[in-house]
Chain A
Amino acid sequence: MCFLGNRKYIDMASHVNTHDHHYHPPGLQHQFEDMKQQEESVTIGMWVFLVQEIMFFGGLFTVYLVFRSKYPMAFAAGSNHLDAFWGGLNTIVLIVSSLTMALTVFYAQRGDRSKQVILIVLTMFFGSVFLGVKAIEYTDKYNNGLVPVMGLNKKVKDGHATEHATYALPFETKVAAAEAGAEAHPYVNPRGEFQWTDITLVEQALEEQMAHPDGDYLTRSEEIGYFSNGQIDINKFRDKVQIFYWIYFVMTGLHALHMIVGLGLMTWLLWKAWKGTFSAFYYMPVEMSGLYWHFVDIVWIFLFPLLYLLGRHFMH
């Protein structure tokens, strides 16, 4: 009781002191001398967080680096099955959202409330489009047995009812299939397992290796990892493609999670901006959310070529 009483007294005293001696602008926290100091502290804090995020994603990029260096052909095969159109569209969508975010900061610094609100809504719109496209892509993986977890794919017992969706295939493959007059083979996946049947790239690499025994067309890991008794082993190859899809889902999933967090931040910003909180004097929340948003954009700038385009040059 006594302690509480004392504490209250001290609090009141410090409060009175602060307000007696200098003017407290809105938005300035008690522990900072002035806005300049507060801005610097906030910025360095945000950057320390972003550096941590870089290391967080960096661990996943390391996993990617290790497995891609071991099984480049499986990675190329898996990557060629992703749709570069959706990936490219999402890249553009994110870049546009980065622009609207940068402009939000620009207008927040000028205290232009209506433009801020419009631009935040636009940023949220593009962020949602990104997630929508990701949902389309994930659905496609689910329908085609490309989710690397058993039972999480669509269970297909009757092959006649649903045939392999051709829109999921890369454009070049579709053209090749049409030219060859290949009919869609029935797709059966009763337990929802990861499916992979395409070994063209390994066959190509093997042919090259036979023709040029001195060349390095298959890595040491591949020579062991794709073959059984001197024959291409479809199951062993599938397991390596599955590694690629694990990495694809974990990396894009973590990135999508960051987008969702970003949308939450934007909702909060929208509320604050609507109330007219930000001005030339106080705009750091907008600036910091902007840093986060741009960081998420940068991660995608790397994910797009590394996941969607890595084996594209093998199609010719």
Chain B
Amino acid sequence: MSDKHNEDEHEHIGIPGYLGVFSILIVGTILTYFAATIDMDWIFPGANTLVALLIAFTKMTFVMLFFMHVYWSSKLIWLSAIASFFWLAIMFAYTMQDYLTRSAGIFSG
């Protein structure tokens, strides 16, 4: 394995790429703050939270793909990264389908 080959293998996105991801994250943070100050409840209740989560998911995707190098990783790593969200979704969905459907009575309130 020559040095040149090694360099190529570890190139990833280089310093400009890292700075690019960094600026996207900073812009995302500022956007999160200002989006939170605007009342979006007129669209539908909870629109603010949805927007905040969309920005957070975008930021997370950039961190995972480029800072955590998932983009250049094997399929097994992609699979474990995605699978974790799948299990998380199951936990959220099954918990909420219980709590949101409890009728009024001793269990609500």
Q: Is A118 an interface residue (CB 8 A)?
A: no
| B7, B36, B104: the one within 8 Å of A312 (CB) | B36
Q: Which of A217-233 contact B (CB under 8 A)?
A: 220-221, 224-225
A-B contact count (CB 8 A): 147
A101 within 8 A of B: yes
Are B36 and A294 in contact, with the CB atoms below 8 A? no
Contact of A313 among B19, B38, B91 (CB under 8 A): B38
Apart from A50-B84, A305-B49, what 19 extra A-B contacts exist at CB < 8 Å?
A: A44-B80, A47-B77, A55-B88, A58-B87, A58-B91, A59-B91, A92-B29, A95-B25, A96-B22, A98-B67, A224-B109, A290-B68, A291-B68, A298-B64, A301-B56, A301-B59, A309-B52, A310-B52, A313-B40
Q: Are B92 and A62 in contact (CB under 8 A)?
A: yes
**Nearest-CB distance from B39 to chain A (Å)?**
4
Instruction: Point out which of B19, B55, B69 has the most chain A C-beta atoms below 10 A from its C-beta.
Output: B69
Contact with B along A15-31 (1 / 0, CB 8 A): 00000000000000000
- Write out the residue numbers on chain A whose beta carbons fall within 8 Å of the beta carbon of B53: 302, 305
> By the criterion CB–CB under 8 Å, are A44 and B39 in contact?
no
A216 (CB) vs chain B CBs: closest residue: B45
B6 contact from A281, A305, A313, A315, Cβ within 8 A = A281
Q: How many angstroms between the C-alpha atoms of A4 and B81 in the bound complex?
A: 45
Let me know if A70 is at the binding interface, CB within 8 A: yes
Instruction: Show the binding face of A for B, using Cβ within 8 Å.
Output: 40, 43-44, 47-48, 50-51, 54-55, 58-59, 61-62, 65-66, 69-70, 84, 88, 91-92, 95-96, 98-99, 101-103, 106, 109-110, 216, 220-221, 224-225, 280-281, 287, 290-291, 294-295, 297-298, 301-302, 304-306, 309-310, 312-316
Contact A313 B36 (CB under 8 A): yes
Q: Which residues of B contact A62 (CB under 8 A)?
A: 91-92, 95
* CB atoms of A305 and B99 under 8 A apart: no
Interface residues of B (CB under 8 A from A): 3, 6-7, 10, 12, 14-15, 18-19, 21-22, 25-26, 29, 32-33, 36-41, 45, 48-49, 52-53, 55-56, 59-60, 63-64, 66-69, 73-74, 76-77, 80-81, 83-85, 87-88, 91-92, 95-96, 99-100, 104, 108-109
Instruction: Report Cα–Cα, A281/B5, bound state, in Å.
Output: 11
Bound: A95/B22 CA distance, A:
7
For B6, list chain A residues within 8 Å (CB): 280-281
- Cα A103 to Cα B10 with chains together (Å): 12
B37 and A313: CB pair below 8 A? yes
